[in-house]
Each structure stands twice: as structure tokens, then as C-alpha cells.
Structure 1
Amino acid sequence: GGFAKCYEMTDLTTNKVYAAKIIPHSRVAKPHQREKIDKEIELHRMLNHRHVVQFYHYFEDRENIYILLEYCSRRSMAHILKARKVLTEPEVRYYLRQIVSGLKYLHEQEILHRDLKLGNFFINENMELKLGDFGLAARLEPLEHRRRTICGTPNYLSPEVLNKQGHGCESDIWALGCVMYTMLLGRPPFETTNLKETYRCIREARYSLPSSLLAPAKHLIASMLSKNPEDRPSLDEIIRHDFFLQGFTPDRLSASCCHTVPDFHLSSPAKNFFKKAAAALFGGKKDKARYFDTHNRLAKEDEEIYKLRHDMKKTSITQQPHEHRTDEEIQPLITTVAKPGALPETKQTGDSIRMIVRGTLGSCSSSSECLEDSTMGSVADTVTRVLRACLENMPEGDSIPKEQLTASFQWVTKWVDYSNKYGFGYQLSDHTVGVLFNNGAHMSLLPDKKTVHYYAELGQCSVFSAAEAPEQFISQVTVLKYFSHYMEENLMDVSSVP
């Protein structure tokens, strides 16, 4: 800080490690300087909260003042962001929850931090965040008695502080908005080439929100960075915001998150599934803007998903599997799918569901490439949200509707992942074989082994004979047959496993 240096100190009698803040007397020779240190000690020593750096003890000798604090081995959020450049939304939620918790405790003690920034958020061995550095902290005063001094870090100062109206709880909320913005985008919202322009932008609350940010994050940042302090949300309102309620928040983070992007899925099967889903939903393109645009479009499709309550019929779980359909039964279905506009209402409303069912691999050439475009957490959020909407909006059915075609339950019995070259192949319980190609196409061979369905685009199906495939599809049909033969000859049907 301005007066002190911090050292790692070990108590040799207990081997307990402390962070020792050492302040030379020469640096606080003036009365107002010593008063500042005494005030920091007075405020900090009374605090006791999980997300506030613990104050243990202080003493002094002829040369220095020593303050013993909780040791945070992972250093600060500033160090993490320097290594990572930007953080994922799940990480931001994880850290912000802890900041809000610690800040709420301070405000309940009628203490303002007045210098919230990444460098003052410390991370311990267990990746828990602690609010620290109370050098500028002050007691909360009534509006008419607030000091008009300008103090804090320039990029995080609020308009009312710059206008010498004093610090309030709302000023800490403003700084929290700057912190959230910085975590997500890697730079403060009002950073410019000179301080005068920075202050002008702050006074006007003028900043940009890139299209890459999702709507809930944009809304929360905008509310915290409201020019009028009274328009900013309370800490309770922040934690109840859609940004927290609708998104995945990890219970804990690995220490590797200090320098690498986290993978929030523990199990390999789940991890692989969401890699495939990432490519299916977002196309696997190395274009962050396109990824977020697609994600936002999916959010807008929620209304279409809800319309499914009138378009989908819930099959009774007591229904027994039937024999495979005959060629005569399959043919009307092929005809219906092949005719554009045959399903004028359900085509539109079912697109989101078909996207999940289709599950194409997009254009990813490898699983790792998919991860460059989206985090596992954001993909999981999207998949879970779509599936949950389907389940919640399917009307109850006591019996099978008369108009519904008799259908048997289907499940995946075999699969093979060859996405390093061709794609992902699978076989269903009715012996339909499908391949999700790396170029984003989906081709399936029906149980009759004669009819092929080809999906190049969402909702657009071409139907043709496997023996008379159009020239442009011959190579893919060959791969499809190869997958079919390989699974038939080499893989065990999971339904036969005891």
C-alpha cells in the first residue's frame, strides 16, 4: 500500500503462517498519517467474517508497526486476472457471491470499504475470497455529515464521490459494478488514456457493454453503474438478480483457475456430452461474437419452447414397446417430413428441441476446439434450460391420445466417437443408425437399411434411398454404412448387458 509492505511471516512456536503488514515509523511521522493507521486498525480488528481478511494482532517497536493478518496464499484477484485476462460467468458468480456476502457484513457494521477493487480481494488456499485492505475504510455517516473528500482508485470512483457528495453504501455498489465488468471483460468500464477523460466518463456514466455479454450480465452491470445512486440495487437485490438465479455457480473452484480456464464437469461422460452439445448448439466456430449471438438467440427461443404445451402430447409411461414399424408405416412419415410446410406450427416451435435431439457436432475438428468457444458451464446452462422447459410444459396425459401415432420408446444401444476424423455414430434400440458429422450435418439410416434421412440445416430434411444416393451424398452414405457395419460387428448392445 501507500505506507506498508506485506510479508509472509511464520510463528515458530505454532508454525502458523500470517500475512504481516509492516509500516515503518518514518512513513507515518505526520499526525494525520499515524491517525490513518490507527483508524484502519480500529475498524479492522473488530471484524469477523468468513469473507473478510481476519485481523489477528498488532504491535510495534522502534522501527515499525506490525499488523498480523490472515494469510491468503493465492494472492489477489488482480493476480488471477493478470494471468487469465478474463473470467467465465460461473467464476464471476462464484467470486461475486462472496464479495457481496463480505460487503453486506461490512455495511451491517456501518462500515464502508471505499476502495473495492480486484487488488483488495484476496484468495486463500481453498480458493475462498476475502475482502481486505481497510486503509480507506470509514464509518457510514448520515448524508449531511459525510466527508466530501475524494479517495479511492480512480477507475472505480462513483459519480457522487467525484462530485464531492461523499461516500455511501451506493458508492461501494458502484465499485462492485466496475469489478464485475472488469472480471468479465478484462478492463475497467471507464478506463481511458488520461485521468481527466476517465472522470468525465464516470460523471456521465458513459461506458460500453459489448454484445458478447449475455443479457442478465448486462442488466446487472447497468443497474450497479446507474448514475443516480438511488437507482442502484441493494446487495440483497444483486444476489437475487437473474444473473445469479439463472446461471450455474460452482460450489468451489480448483486452484488451477488461478491460471487456466476451469472445466466444471467432474465426470468424463458428462464432460464429453457437453463438448458435443457445445458444438451442436454453437457451431464450434472460433468466433466469440457468433457464440454469444447464438446463445442469446436460444434465450429468445424460450417463448417458442413454451408453445410446445399445445403441440406435444405426453406418452404414458406404462406404454409397452411395439414391434418395429413396417415399410408401409414408415412411408407416410417420410412423405410428411420431406414436404416443406407440412408441419407449419410445430416446425417453428420445435426447432429448439430438434436442435438438442439432432445434436450435431458443428464444425469442430476436435473436442478441445469446441471448448475454445464456450465454457462447459454455459453449455450446460443452455442444455439444461431447454430440456427443463420441455419437461415443465408438457401437459399431463392419462392415456395415449387417439390421434398420436403408436410409437415405441427408443434409446441409444451403441455408439462410437470418431469425431477426430468423421463424426459421432450411434445406434438406437430400433436399429436406426445415425452419424453426427464434423461438418454439422446429421445422417441416419432407418431400420429397413434402405432409407436415409439427411439433415444439412436445422429443420430441413432430405430423404432418399441408400442404394440410389445423390452424388453429393455418396461419401457420407459410405461413412454411415461403415459406422453401421462397425457397430454391428464389434460393439455389444447395451440392452443385452445384465
Structure 2
Amino acid sequence: MAKSSGKDFTPRARGHRLNLNRLIRDPTTGSLYYRGDSLGKGAFAKSYQLIEVATNKILAVKVMPLSRAPGAHQREEIEKEIELHSTLHHRNVVSYYHHFEDTENIYIILEYCSRKTLAHILKARKVLTEPEARHYLRQIVSGLKYLHHKGIVHRDLKLSNLFVNKNMEVKIGDFGLATKLEEQKRGIICGTRSYLAPEVLSMRRHVYKSDIWALGCVFYTMLSGHLPFKISDIKDTYQMLREAKYSIPNSLSPAAQHLTASLLAKNPEDRPSLDEIIQHDFFTQGLTPENLSPSCCYTSPTVSTSKNLLERAGKYFFRKKKGNKRFPDHPENFPIEQDEVINLSRGLKMLKANEQCKIRHNGSEVGEGEMEKMVPISPVYPLSKTQPPVGQDQLEPNYTHQVRVLARGTLGSRNSGSKCEGDCTVESIVDSVARVLKGCLENMPEGDQNPEDQLNCSLLWVTKWIDYSNKYGFGYQLSDSSTGILLNNGSHMTLLPHAKSVCCCTELGHWSVFPMTDVPRQLSEQLTVLQFFTQYMEEHLMQVNFYHDHTKIILCNHEEEYVLTFINRDRMNATFRLSTLLLCGCSAEVRRRMEYTYWMLQQL
């Protein structure tokens, strides 16, 4: 009996109990295979894991009994599938290797995808996150674009025909119903009922946009956990399909809802092209992970919130300890850069309120992104009970109450005297900001332009960050180009904007500023790490924007009152008191971004 060279027989080595009935011999080449576990079954075929005995290589095989293809027509369809699939070579298409037949079956040997299909993943997960959907959808679109370029319409695109390999790459498979568009016969309805496009039912003919409709059904199901058209009665299902009658869950983001409606448009001409799909806001305004962990097959992806470091940073900058002042009583004792140090420390009170998927870089977990549509947070002071902020005395009573409620019970500060040691977590910060936005949006009147009453103040916010806390710490870059690192030992070092001075803060809260040429030897190692982080962020970190036009929303506290800064696509910024927005409203452009920011915060 054939053996793998010098090794135990492959099936037994892999844990299979040897069953001679599972041996398959290719009569044309003499190659010997062992049929492994079942991978699934369709209407006319079954799929199995296949082990090539001579090489130990794991493959997949589609087995079609000859008894299911007694006539010339059935045989012709099988040969057509083999002929078409054998010409396809693309990263996102299941690879075809070989085919043969014996006296009982026809065997099509294919690439093995160990993670099975997206249907299996969704069954375990129920729903997927939007970053995951982007990851998968990009690859499906890439594969579809290849097929359409070759004049092929798939006609049966669905979750169970989207295979996933060990690297979590999606591959389009099962070309039993695929055909060249010009060779398609009219009057035939084929495919899976719940994925059929309206034009297939009415014209009885598939077009390229029919595959895009099916892609819309896949996308909808990924994010909602159920098909848009799935009811028990066949007649009602067909009626809903013809009319494109479905509802979009409110749990989807605005961009996801818009893309779903576009993909599932009744008229094929109204559906986006494959290129337009990738250019949609759903992709340009959100992060697409470069890769996913295999654990995503059964659990939500791990996100890099740098929770421990961020909580330590929050406690450090917001807490108040007796006998431990953050700054000397006399700022004039600082070196010449005292204002820069103070401004920088204030800027660091802004914590990131957006979670990004973990991205691998050279074997290390590196968070990567730019806080373009994020919420920098300064300490939140309770509004003064003796002197209302400017403009608040003109507010109606319910608005005044609303503003006070928003401020009460949120973050304390080093000046407020409130207890904040246990409250300044990422979750509490996000919750506070979300409540502020919600209160403003629910009570703000409709407006067609922004208020003329603007504040003249400058803010700092985090533009880039890198999480290397498994070795060194958490690095960041601010909007004035200064950089810093929160080290694992609790110390904090920053490089001021002109890169000529270094500011260092020990765990005890003592600040020191040194020229770059005169940094103490005991800090040289930390400085080296800081310089590495600075160079890495400058050279490697891409900018990830929630809005492709680079607009930004910044919410913070200024002189004991909430303010909102909007930076438009021309990089011009305008800052408004929330009390002013509650009274006068704002432009639709600003309101939409406030609503989107609120939705993003709810997802964290």
C-alpha cells in the first residue's frame, strides 16, 4: 500500500481511522487520494476534504455521482462547469486543480478552504461587525470584478458559496450555475430563491448587476444576521423580491444603510458598479482591517483600545491627589518652554473615543489610525452655579436645565475637587460624550447655517497613535506635531513640536524639560523609544478618516462650558458653545456629522 515517504500513512497520521472504502484512485494518473470529512452538500454534489497520499497535501473534492447525470444535458452542464472553472486564476476565486471520473463518480479537485464558508462563520457569530464586513466585501468585489471582466456572471452568489481559507481570505466558489453572459439562455430562472434579483424573476435573465443584487443580500445578512427576503411562503417571497420590498435595520450605520439600499435597488441601472461600491462612504469613512484573526470565525474581533494604558493615562491626568500637584505653584520656575509644556499637558487630556481593529505589523500588535473623526476630551467642569456662561442667560429654562444635566456627574478634573480616581475609564468618557451629543441633538432646533457667535480658541487633538504596550507603551501624535509616549513603567515623555526639547514626567508627577542635546543618561533609553515611535508614525501610519473630505468634529470643555469645534474640508475651523447651538441650531453639514459621531460612540 502506498505510503508517504518515510512517514506513517497520511490519513492515520492525521487522526483518521483507515477505511479502505475511502481510498480514491485517479485512473488517468494513478494518483491515490483518501477522502476525509464532509465539507457540505448541494443539490447534485457533495464536497469532502481530500488528502493526496503521496504528498500529504490537503485538498477539497466535489463528488458528483454519475447516476445524477444520466442524460446528455446533465453531462454537458458538468463539463461546462469544469471548462469554465479551469480557466479562472484569481486570489479571490477558489482554485481548480484537476478532475477525473471512475465508474461511479465525477471528481473535481479544488483548493481547500479550512475555515469553510461565510455561512458557517455567520452561523457561529450571528452577526458581523462593520470592519469585518468591509474586509470580506472588498475581497468579494475583487473576485466578482475578475469574473465580470472575463464575461462571466456567477448566478448563485451567496454566503455558502463564499469560502474562507486559513488566512481568512474570501474566495468565490461553486460555478455550477455560472455562465458566460452572451451564452446565457433566456427563460430560465436559476439560483437560490432568497438571492434572486427582481429582473431575474421578471425578465428570466441574469445580468452583471444581478450578482451585485446578490452581493447586497450577502452584505445585509452579514450585518443583520438574517436575509432581507426570507419568509416561509414562496409566493410572498417572490412578490417581495419583485418589488424589492424589505426593511433596513436601524442598527446599521448611516453609510451601511445607504450602501444596502444602493445594492438592493429594484432597477439594475440604479445599483452601483463594483468600482463605485469600493468608493462608497461605507469604505472611505471606516477602517478596513488588513487581516483578521482566525478567532473571528467564532467570536468578535479583538479591538485595540489600549484599555489599561488609557485608563492609567486618564487617572493620571484627571485625578487629584493630596500633596501631589500636577504643576509647580510658580510656573515661572519652568524653563523657557513653560507655555509649551503646559499646553502639551492640556492637550494630553484628550483621550481617543474610537476603537480600531487590531492590525498586525511584523508580528507585533500595532494599532494604526488617525483620530480624524474622534472626540478629544478635556476635563469637564460642572457649570458655574453663580455665574452662567456667556449666552446662557438667554436660554429658555428647559435648555438651561439640559446643559446643566449634561455637565453633572461627568468627568472631574484636577481643579474641580471631584472624585475621579475610579471613574475615569474609557467607558465613562465615551458615555459622558455620548450623553452630551444626545442631549444637544434632541433639543437643538433645525437650522440652515451655523451661528455667528463663535469662540476664538485653539485646541489640540490626537492625530495618530501606536499601541506597542506589549513591549514599550502607547505612543501618540498631536495636531501641533508634538509626539509622546506613555511608557509601561508609568512615566511619560514628550517631544515638543520643534523637536529640540524633551519633556519628561515621572510616575510621581514631576515635570522636567531638557534640550535634545542634554538629556540625562538614565533617560536615553526612553528617548530612543520615543524617537522610534515618532519616526514610525511619520513614515508608516496612514490617515484614516471617518469622512473622506477630512472634516472633523471636536467636543471638549473650554472655560467651564462645553464647546464644539468643526473643521471643514478647507481646514477652516469654527468653535461654538453648545448652549449657542441649543438656542440657534446649526447647518445640516455640522448636524449630520454630530449625528454620525453620536452613532459611532454608541458602537464602542
Shorter chain as denominator, the TM-score bin is: 0.5 to 0.7
Equivalent AA in structure 2 for residue 269 of structure 1: S
Structure 1 unaligned blocks of 5 or more: 278-315, 324-332, 372-385, 397-408, 416-426, 431-443, 445-452, 461-498
**Aligned-pair distance for 1:215?**
0.5
How many angstroms apart in 1 are the aligned matches of 2:284 and 2:159? 24
- 1:269 alignment partner in structure 2: 306
- 2:211 alignment partner in structure 1: 172
- Aligned residue among 221, 224, 231 for 2:263: 224
Q: CA RMSD in A?
A: 4.7
CA contact (8 A) 1:122 1:129 kept: yes
How many angstroms apart in 2 are the aligned matches of 1:203 and 1:106? 26
Equivalent AA in structure 2 for residue 147 of structure 1: R
Equivalent AA in structure 2 for residue 53 of structure 1: V
Matches within 5 A, 1:374-413: none
Equivalent AA in structure 2 for residue 119 of structure 1: S
CA contact (8 A) 2:118 2:159 kept: yes
**Aligned-pair distance for 1:167?**
0.4
- 1:148 alignment partner in structure 2: 187
How many angstroms apart in 2 are the aligned matches of 1:50 and 1:253? 17
How many angstroms apart in 1 are the aligned matches of 2:231 and 2:382? 61
Q: Describe the shift of the 1:65–1:192 C-alpha distance in structure 2 as closer, same or farther (beyond 3 A).
A: same
- 2:64 alignment partner in structure 1: 23
- 1:69 alignment partner in structure 2: 110
1:115-168 per-position Cα deviation (integer Å, ceiling 9, x unaligned): 0100000011111111000011010129xx752311111110000001134101
- 2:162 alignment partner in structure 1: 121
Asked if 1:35 is matched to 2:35, the reply is no
**Aligned-pair distance for 1:109?**
0.6
- 2:229 alignment partner in structure 1: 190
Equivalent AA in structure 2 for residue 121 of structure 1: L
CA contact (8 A) 1:150 1:164 kept: no
- 1:405 alignment partner in structure 2: none
Q: Describe the shift of the 1:454–1:336 C-alpha distance in structure 2 as closer, same or farther (beyond 3 A).
A: closer
Asked if 1:234 is matched to 2:282, the reply is no
How many angstroms apart in 2 are the aligned matches of 1:190 and 1:317? 64
CA contact (8 A) 1:250 1:264 kept: no
How many angstroms apart in 2 are the aligned matches of 1:369 and 1:241? 33
Q: Describe the shift of the 1:364–1:196 C-alpha distance in structure 2 as closer, same or farther (beyond 3 A).
A: farther
4+ long deviations beyond 6 Å: 274-277, 333-338, 363-371, 393-396, 409-413, 427-430
SS in 1 for 2:182: coil
- 1:83 alignment partner in structure 2: 124
CA contact (8 A) 2:62 2:107 kept: yes
- 1:14 alignment partner in structure 2: 55
Could you say which structure has the higher helix fraction?
Answer: 1
Matches within 5 A, 1:338-377: 339-342=387-390
How many angstroms apart in 2 are the aligned matches of 1:37 and 1:276? 63
SS in 1 for 2:259: helix
Asked if 1:49 is matched to 2:90, the reply is yes
SS in 2 for 1:147: coil
Q: So what's the TM-score if we normalise by structure 1? A: 0.59
Equivalent AA in structure 1 for residue 103 of structure 2: R
- Aligned residue among 95, 98, 101 for 1:60: 101
Equivalent AA in structure 2 for residue 224 of structure 1: L
1:68-88 per-position Cα deviation (integer Å, ceiling 9, x unaligned): 000001111111000000000
CA contact (8 A) 2:311 2:424 kept: no
- Aligned residue among 173, 176, 185 for 1:135: 176
**Aligned-pair distance for 1:32?**
1.6
How many angstroms apart in 2 are the aligned matches of 1:234 and 1:84? 29
Equivalent AA in structure 1 for residue 56 of structure 2: N
How many angstroms apart in 2 are the aligned matches of 1:87 and 1:275? 31
**Aligned-pair distance for 1:177?**
0.4
SS in 1 for 2:292: coil
**Aligned-pair distance for 1:4?**
1.1
- Aligned residue among 266, 270, 294 for 1:255: 294
Equivalent AA in structure 1 for residue 127 of structure 2: V
How many angstroms apart in 2 are the aligned matches of 1:192 and 1:276? 51
How many angstroms apart in 1 are the aligned matches of 2:312 and 2:150? 46
1:190-248 per-position Cα deviation (integer Å, ceiling 9, x unaligned): 11231111111111111111211111000111001110000100000001111011111
How many angstroms apart in 2 are the aligned matches of 1:322 and 1:124? 52
- Aligned residue among 96, 99, 114 for 2:140: 99
- 1:281 alignment partner in structure 2: none
- 2:150 alignment partner in structure 1: 109
**Aligned-pair distance for 1:342?**
1.8
Q: Describe the shift of the 1:126–1:38 C-alpha distance in structure 2 as closer, same or farther (beyond 3 A).
A: same
- 1:212 alignment partner in structure 2: 251
How many angstroms apart in 2 are the aligned matches of 1:210 and 1:82? 19
Equivalent AA in structure 1 for residue 150 of structure 2: Q
How many angstroms apart in 2 are the aligned matches of 1:275 and 1:3? 60
1:267-321 per-position Cα deviation (integer Å, ceiling 9, x unaligned): x7367649999xxxxxxxxxxxxxxxxxxxxxxxxxxxxxxxxxxxxxx999444
- 2:539 alignment partner in structure 1: none
SS in 1 for 2:90: coil
CA contact (8 A) 1:276 1:367 kept: no
Asked if 1:245 is matched to 2:245, the reply is no
Q: Describe the shift of the 1:121–1:273 C-alpha distance in structure 2 as closer, same or farther (beyond 3 A).
A: farther
How many angstroms apart in 2 are the aligned matches of 1:2 and 1:248? 38
How many angstroms apart in 2 are the aligned matches of 1:318 and 1:203? 70
Same amino acid, percent of matched pairs: 51
How many angstroms apart in 2 are the aligned matches of 1:223 and 1:76? 25
How many angstroms apart in 1 are the aligned matches of 2:133 and 2:237? 25
CA contact (8 A) 1:412 1:429 kept: yes
How many angstroms apart in 2 are the aligned matches of 1:342 and 1:64? 84
